Amino acid sequence: MPSRLIREGILSSERVDELDAAAEVFYRRLMSKVDDHGLYDARLSILRTSLYPLRVDRVREADISRWIAACEKAGLIALYEHAGKPYLVMLDTRWTTRSEPKYPVPPNLAQMKTVENNCKQLKSTVLLDVVEDVVVVCAEKRNKSKTAIPENFTISESVRKWAAEKGHLFLEIHLENFINSCKAKGYTYADWDAAFRNAISKNWAKVEQSAGSSGTLDGVL
């Protein structure tokens, strides 16, 4: 197991403070598993068994998915792909690199870790653009204006791919609920796909926990 120097600055970090208690525990546990470059396998099953070896009966992959989304939203980690497999990188670690990377390195790792302190994620969103099986992380400009939900908003291919990787179902139901909620409450966003992914992760439609083993909703044919 790698040794990690956890600096006291984590206690006053605004990004860490965005996390709820469970997500923060996940983040701190993740620190003990990433390599010296902050890289690790992002498959839910691997994260569940490696980070919670004594709690596999109490921690679900759905929990892991939710905590990953929270850490990504807070600008603490970024996700990328290599050869069709998901990986993550822990941002702004500032650890001494004493060994070679144990996982595939994204081509712009240094940039991912240093772009305006990861854009602090409070004012910009880390976006994932898939380019030839490698996800390149780029920072959304701060001055990108928010808009009301587009009239023709629908499920994009990138959202479908993300949902399949994360194991999210009932996308049409999520979409209907998301559109109705945004229109009713006047929500505005700069990136509507990112907002939709967040709504799915947080289960706004309250459907995924109601799914039975058959993959259908109670009372829905």
Residue in this structure with the two tokens 């620190």, named with its chain if needed: 31
Of 65, 71, 43, give the one whose Cα is nearest residue 168: 65
Whether the pLDDT of residue 132 is over 90: the answer is no
pLDDT 10s digits, 77-122:
999 998 889 999 998 777 777 788 999 988 776 666 554 444 444 3
What is the band of 6 on the pLDDT scale with cuts at 50, 70, 90?
low
**What's the pLDDT at 93?**
73
Residue with tokens 């967040």: 198
Task: Tokens for 157, please give them.
Answer: 């291919």
- 46 pLDDT band, cuts 50/70/90, is very high
CA distance 66 to 92: 21
Round to whole Å and give the CA distance between 115 and 79: 16
| pLDDT score, position 3 | 55
Q: Which two tokens stand for residue 170?
A: 């009932």
Q: Which residue has the higher pLDDT, 131 or 186?
A: 186
Strand extents, DSSP E, the chain:
39-41, 77-82, 85-90, 126-131, 134-139, 147-148, 188-189
Does the pLDDT at position 130 exceed 60?
no
- Tokens representing 42? 């992002």
Q: Is the pLDDT of residue 221 over 80?
A: no
What pTM was estimated for this model as a whole? 0.51
Would you state the pLDDT for residue 178?
95
Q: Give residue-wise pLDDT tens across range 176-209.
A: 999 999 999 999 998 999 999 999 999 999 987 6
Q: Could you tell me what percent of the chain has a pLDDT over 70?
A: 74
Q: Hey, which residues does 40 pair with through a beta bridge?
A: 88
CA 41 to centroid of chain Cα atoms? 13
Q: Residue 215 has which token pair?
A: 């993959």
